[in-house]
Amino acid sequence: MWVEFKEDMEVFLLKNKSYEFLCADYPKIMQFNLNLMSKRFSKALETINDVAFSTLKLRVMKFLENQAKNNLIKISHEEIANNIGSAREAVTRILKELKKEGKIDLKRGEIFLK
């Protein structure tokens, strides 16, 4: 298993049997996990749909709009590519097109939505 965190984290591992006992004793734990898995599954299906049926430009714009805080995203081209399942070079090309169209401004490590 490979896990990458963007900031410092504490991780707690629980054996399967212990988890089963917790779920049996505390149904809210099971409900929480079912809700979490449902949300993640929906997100995965949405991503598959986007990759299969949306243009790269639309996927990049959708990602930027979802990540923006006050029309600003602090992210590298590589991180965008990793998040949308594309190559960094292709994302860079699309970002240049969006800048030329006046939809974004680019600075090192920052993207401003207009």
| Residue 11 CA: distances (Å) to CA of 3, 4, 15, 51 | 11, 12, 13, 32
Tokens of 98: 């969006």
Tokens of 87: 């190559």
In whole angstroms, give the CA distance from residue 22 to residue 31.
Answer: 12
pLDDT above 70 covers a percentage of the chain that reads 100
pTM of the model: 0.64
Tens digit of pLDDT for each residue in 55-83?
A: 999 999 999 999 999 999 999 999 999 99
pLDDT at 23: 92
Q: Give the dihedral of Cα atoms 41, 46, 51, 57; nearest 10 deg.
A: -140
Residues near 109 by beta carbon (within 8 Å), at least 6 away in sequence: 74, 75, 76
pLDDT at 43: 87
pLDDT at 54: 82
pLDDT at 85: 85
Residues near 22 by beta carbon (within 8 Å), at least 6 away in sequence: 14, 29
* DSSP-H helix ranges across the chain: 16-25, 27-53, 56-67, 77-84, 88-100
Taking 50 as the pLDDT cut, the residues of the chain under it are: none
pLDDT at 88: 95
Instruction: Please state, as a whole number, how many other Cβ atoms lie within 10 Å of the Cβ of residue 94.
Output: 22
